[in-house]
Chains A and B, each alone.
Chain A
Amino acid sequence: MTKYIFKRILYIVIVFFILSFLIFMIYNLLPVDKAAEKAREEVTADRNLDYDARYTYWQERYGLNGSKFERYLRWLGLYPYADGSFHGLLQGNLGTSTKYAKPVAEVLAEPMKNTVLLNLCATLLALGITIPLGIFCAVRRGSRRDTAVQVGTIVGYSLPMFIIAIVFIWLFAVKLGWFPVSGMNTAGSASWSPMRQFFDRLRHLALPLIVMTFCSLGGMTRYVRASMSEALSMDCIRTARAKGLHERRVIYSHAWRNALIPIVTLVIGWFLGIFAGSLMVENIFALNGIGKVYFDALSGSDNEVVLALQMFYILISLAGNLLIDIAYGFVDPRVRVDR
Chain B
Amino acid sequence: MLDHNHKEPTNEEFADTPRKKGGFLRAVTTPFGWLLRMVLGPSKSLTEDPASPKWESPSRLALGSFFRRKLAVAALAVLLALFLFVFVGPLFLPMDVNYTDALQANIAPNYAMLSLPRALKGQIRDINGYANFTVGVSNDNRLFMWGYTKDLITGLDYSDFPAEIRDGNVCAASAGYDHIIAITTDGKVVGWGNNSRGQYGAADASDDLLPMPDALLHGTVDISKIEQLTCGYQASALILDGKLYLWGNSAALLNMDELLEAADTYTAQNNIRVKKIALSNYYAAVLFEDGTMTGSNLIFNRESAVSSKNGKIKNFKNYLADKEIIDIAATDNCFAFLLSDGEILVNGAAKYGEDEIPVIGDGEKFVSLTAGTRHFAALTDGGKAWSWGHNDGGQASLDGVAADRIFAGAKQTYLTDAGGKLIKKVGFRGYLFGTDSRGRDILTRIVHGGKMTMTVGAVAVIVSSFIAIIIGCLAGYFGGWVDLLLMRLTEIFSAIPFLPFAMLLSFVLRYYPIGETMRIFIIMLILGLLSWTSLARIIRGQVLSEREKEFVLAAKSMGVRERKIAFRHILPNIISVILVSMTLDFAGCLLTESSLSYLGFGVQQPQPTWGNMLSGANNSIVIQNYSWQWIFPALFLSIATISINIIGDTLRDVLDPKSNREK
Contacts and interface: CB of A to CB of B under 8 A. Distances in A.
Given A163-B637, A165-B618, A26 B504 contact: yes
Interface stretch (A60-68, A108-116, A236-244, A308-316): A308-316
A159 B638 contact: yes
B595 A280 contact: yes
Nearest to B658: A233
A174 interface: yes
Given A154-B649, A306-B504, A309-B500, A174 B637 contact: no
Contact of A276 (B500, B591, B630): B500
A299 B642 CA distance: 32
A253 B64 CA distance: 39
Interface in A114-171: 142, 151, 154-155, 157-163, 165-167, 169-170
A167 B620 contact: no
Nearest to B639: A158
A306 B619 CA distance: 26
B71 A151 contact: yes
Of A31, A313, A321, the most chain B CB neighbours within 10 A belong to A313
Given A154-B642, A279-B500, A166 B617 contact: yes
Contacts of B619: 181-182
Contacts of B167: none
B214 interface: no
A318 B511 CA distance: 29
Given A30-B508, A174-B623, A317-B496, A310 B634 contact: no
B641 A160 contact: yes
B135 interface: no
A298 B507 contact: yes
Contacts of A43: none
Contacts of B215: none
B598 interface: yes
B574 interface: no
A279 B499 contact: yes
Given A18-B492, A181-B620, A233-B662, A161 B634 contact: no
B497 A154 contact: no
A15 B500 contact: no
B654 to A, nearest CB: 15
Interface string A7-31: 0000000010011000100110111
A321 B495 CA distance: 8
A227 interface: no
Given A163-B638, A166-B634, A284-B618, A310 B504 contact: yes
A283 interface: yes
Interface in B489-514: 491-492, 495-501, 503-505, 507-508, 511-512
B contacts with A: majority SS: helix
Interface in B564-616: 587, 591, 594-595, 598-601, 611, 614
B624 interface: yes
B627 A170 contact: yes
A223 interface: no
Contact of A169 (B495, B501, B620): B620
A14 B440 CA distance: 51
Interface residues of A, number: 50
A160 B591 contact: yes
B595 A167 contact: no
Interface residues of B, number: 46
Contacts of A310: 500-501, 504
A28 B9 CA distance: 74
A318 B645 contact: no
A283 B649 CA distance: 31
A75 interface: no
A184 to B, nearest CB: 16
A174 B620 contact: yes
Given A294-B500, A310-B501, A154 B645 contact: yes
A164 B512 CA distance: 34
Contacts of B624: 170, 174
Contacts of A275: 497
Given A29-B508, A162-B618, A306-B504, A317 B497 contact: yes
B646 interface: yes
A295 interface: yes
Interface in B406-436: none
A89 interface: no
Nearest to A23: B504
Of A154, A155, A182, A294, the most chain B CB neighbours within 10 A belong to A154
A158 B649 CA distance: 12
Interface in A23-48: 23, 26-27, 29-32
Contacts of B637: 160, 163
A140 to B, nearest CB: 15
Contact of A313 (B491, B497, B507, B662): B497
Contacts of B614: 162-163, 166
A19 B511 CA distance: 22
Contacts of B623: 166, 169-170, 174, 181
A30 B644 CA distance: 38
Contacts of A159: 638, 641-642
A19 B495 contact: yes
Contacts of B642: 154-155, 158-159
Contacts of A280: 499, 595, 598-599
A82 B5 CA distance: 85
B5 to A, nearest CB: 25
14 contacts: A32-B511, A154-B646, A157-B645, A160-B641, A162-B614, A165-B618, A166-B630, A170-B623, A174-B620, A233-B662, A276-B499, A283-B599, A295-B503, A298-B504
Interface of B: 71, 491-492, 495-501, 503-505, 507-508, 511-512, 587, 591, 594-595, 598-601, 611, 614, 617-620, 623-624, 627, 630, 634, 637-638, 641-642, 644-646, 649, 662-663
Given A26-B508, A163-B634, A280-B599, 10 more contacts: A27-B504, A30-B508, A154-B649, A158-B587, A275-B497, A295-B599, A299-B600, A306-B507, A317-B496, A318-B495
Nearest 6 interchain pairs by C-beta: A158-B641, A313-B497, A276-B499, A158-B642, A181-B620, A163-B634
